[in-house]
Amino acid sequence: MSMKNFGKGLIFGAVVAGVATLLTNRNKGEENRKFLTDFIDEVKNEVEQGVITTTTIRLQSEEVKKQVATALQPAMRDIQKSIKDFQFQAEPRITQIQEQIETIQEHLPKV
């Protein structure tokens, strides 16, 4: 694989990650559109000028990473809360099921 293809793939991946981040984050739509427009314009200009470097790619990747982290934090908190709520609600039911299983096993004839 040539460095040119690698660079294109890396840029494409960064753009896709950026778009995914913007679609799932909780910023206002106008802020998302401005960030995405600026990001795409910057990458496009650098590609057209042929001055995109590994440093530029790294910096842009870091920015996308920050956006993803910002977008995922609230989702992770919501997921963790849902899991805790489920465990809290399920615990008495699980205990009751275990007690019923023990009762059934006690009343089964010994084989």
pTM over 0.75? The answer is no
pLDDT at 96: 92
pLDDT in tens, the chain (111 residues): 455 666 667 677 777 776 666 667 666 767 767 777 887 787 777 767 766 666 777 777 787 777 777 777 777 788 888 888 888 888 888 899 999 999 888 888 765
Spacing of C-alpha 29 from chain mean position: 19
- How many folded domains does the chain comprise? 1
pLDDT at 22: 60
pLDDT at 6: 66
| Residue 49 lies in domain | 3-107
pLDDT at 4: 61
Exposure string for 43-70, b = 16+ CB within 10 A, e = fewer: beebeeeeebeeeebeebbebbeebbee
Phi, psi of 35 (to 5 degrees): -60, -45
